Amino acid sequence: MTCVTDETARENVRRLASAGGHSLASLSARIGKNVAYLQQFVKRGTPRRLPEDERRALAMILQVDERLLGARDPWTPQAGDAPLGGPKCSRSEG
């Protein structure tokens, strides 16, 4: 899954809340924010991105992948990347 844009994340919040029968006000309260919080996020783009804790709580309530709400894909090592601690060096016998 790739990262969604901020605009797509806002649209996803609106769509998923509606599909689940939730109001933005009730979801805001359930994540510990004032009732206008998600309405402002969806309509005015404030905050620009949902903070990690609120995003995770909302994803859990809506039972969706957090990345739909704006989380970035986690970093994953690629083949050939050095392990933690740096590259393995071979010692020459001498």
What one-letter code names the amino acid at 67?
Answer: R
C-alpha 45/C-alpha 58 separation (Å) is 17
Q: Which residue has the higher pLDDT, 6 or 3?
A: 6
Q: Which CATH number fits domain 6-69: 1.10.3720.10, 3.90.550.10, 1.10.260.40, 3.30.56.10?
A: 1.10.260.40
pLDDT value of position 94: 47
The stretch 22-35 carries a mean pLDDT of 98
Residue-wise pLDDT for 34-87, tens only, equals 999 999 999 999 999 999 999 999 999 999 999 999 998 887 887 766 666 555
Helix (H, G, I), strand (E, B) or coil at 2: coil
Is the predicted pLDDT of residue 16 greater than 70, yes or no? yes
Is the predicted pLDDT of residue 93 greater than 50, yes or no? no
